[in-house]
Amino acid sequence: MATLRVDTPPDNEPVTIDLLKAHLRISISNDDSLLAVYLQAARESVESESGRSLVNKRYRQLHDQFPRLEDSAPGGIFRRARYAHHWSDSRRAIKLLRSPLVAVEKITYLDPSGTLQTMLPAPERWEPKTEYEDGSQVLDANGNLQEVVALTGSGEGAGQSGESEPVWDPTAGNDTAEGHLLWKNKGPGPGGDFIEDRESEPPRLMPLFGNHWPATLHVPNAVQVYFIAGYGELAEDAPATLKVAIMMGVGVSYENREAVTPELLRELPWYQRLIASERVLDWNPTQ
């Protein structure tokens, strides 16, 4: 069982008030505040039903412990772990409850002594025209870990990588300058403590190859995963089907102010089909 919390609400909704009013054929501004509440409620409902985050938000997912493998008898018979699938390594995966995954910031956990520990994701390969911050890590073409140790300049383009990968200094401890970025060679990778799988739905987190998740203190919510999910700040790339579902949901709320009406007792098959078409399906369900 996992619990999901929104740590940072979105700055914008995936549907603008103007577009919503055009859909509802509303020309006055008297109900704009009311429409904004309905819009937020409809977006939250669609996200909950679809398992998708339409606009970028910072989430915190809580678990009582990491997925674990335990010998239950001589001969190495494993207990079926939480978030497991069959008997393969995927049983060690932590599945995130919102897609698409933008980035995992960190995992914090209480070790058996009660000390708060932090785990960081393994760095990805260097990417062109990408914003990097002080402390960002990437793997270079030589398989070494490179870390941003200084940002120079300011304004547009500060902290952005170039169009082509720089010629990295292969010696550990040496620096490589790239525009406004100064990288330091930290030696052979991969670095980090776990792998993030952004391509799968739902997104998955796995321990590094050959490693296992650490032991935790036996208390509720000992493990907390901090991550960002969404289609962007303005959600321009969010599925149009879900935007239409949001507008339909607002339309029902706007036209029917009571909890139960003859209209609300009817099924809304088109609304449900829109959400179902984009619902995150877990083809390897947790067990």
Q: Please check the confidence at residue 155 and state whether its pLDDT lies above 70.
A: no
In this structure, are strands 194-197 and 77-78 parallel, antiparallel, or unpaired? unpaired
Residue-level pLDDT at 74: 40
100 lies in the same domain as 131: no
Percent of the chain with pLDDT over 70: 84
Mean of the pLDDT values across residues 198-204? 91
Q: What are phi and psi of 106, to 5 degrees?
A: -175, 165
Are 203 and 96 in contact, with CB atoms under 8 Å apart? yes
Residue-level pLDDT at 77: 37
Residue-level pLDDT at 265: 57
Decide if 115 is inside a domain.
Answer: yes
250 lies in the same domain as 263: yes
Percent of the chain with pLDDT over 90: 53
Q: What are phi and psi of 103, to 5 degrees?
A: -170, 150
Give the separation between CA 160 and CA 95, rounded to whole angstroms: 31
Q: Please check the confidence at residue 76 and state whether its pLDDT lies above 50.
A: no
Residue-level pLDDT at 5: 95
Q: Which domain holds residue 107?
A: 1-120+200-287
Instruction: Return the minimum-mean-pLDDT range out of 79-83, 110-114, 241-245, 270-274.
Output: 79-83
pLDDT band at 261 (very low <50, low <70, confident <90, very high): low
Give the domain-ending residue among 188, 216, 235.
188
Mean of the pLDDT values across residues 141-157? 78
9 lies in the same domain as 128: no
Decide if 206 is inside a domain.
Answer: yes
CA-derived radius of gyration, the chain: 23
Decide if 31 is inside a domain.
Answer: yes
Give the domain-ending residue among 135, 161, 188.
188
112 lies in the same domain as 132: no
65 lies in the same domain as 111: yes
Q: Please check the confidence at residue 204 and state whether its pLDDT lies above 70.
A: yes
85 lies in the same domain as 36: yes
Give the separation between CA 241 and CA 54, rounded to whole angstroms: 11
Decide if 142 is inside a domain.
Answer: yes
For the record, the structure tokens of 24 come out as: 């509802």
The total domain count for the chain is 2
Residue-level pLDDT at 175: 95
Element spanning 49, H or E: helix 32-50
Give the domain-ending residue among 188, 215, 238.
188
Decide if 195 is inside a domain.
Answer: no
Instruction: Return the minimum-mean-pLDDT range out of 51-65, 116-130, 239-253.
Output: 116-130
pLDDT band at 79 (very low <50, low <70, confident <90, very high): very low
Tens digit of pLDDT for each residue in 11-40? 899 999 999 999 999 999 999 999 999 999
Decide if 268 is inside a domain.
Answer: yes
Mean of the pLDDT values across residues 199-209? 89
79 lies in the same domain as 220: yes
226 lies in the same domain as 110: yes
269 lies in the same domain as 155: no
101 lies in the same domain as 209: yes
43 lies in the same domain as 105: yes
114 lies in the same domain as 154: no
Decide if 194 is inside a domain.
Answer: no
Does the model's pTM come out above 0.85? Answer: no
Mean of the pLDDT values across residues 36-59? 95
For the record, the structure tokens of 76 come out as: 């190495």
pLDDT band at 1 (very low <50, low <70, confident <90, very high): low
Decide if 19 is inside a domain.
Answer: yes
What is residue 231's three-state secondary structure? coil
Element spanning 278, H or E: helix 269-278
Are 4 and 202 in contact, with CB atoms under 8 Å apart? no
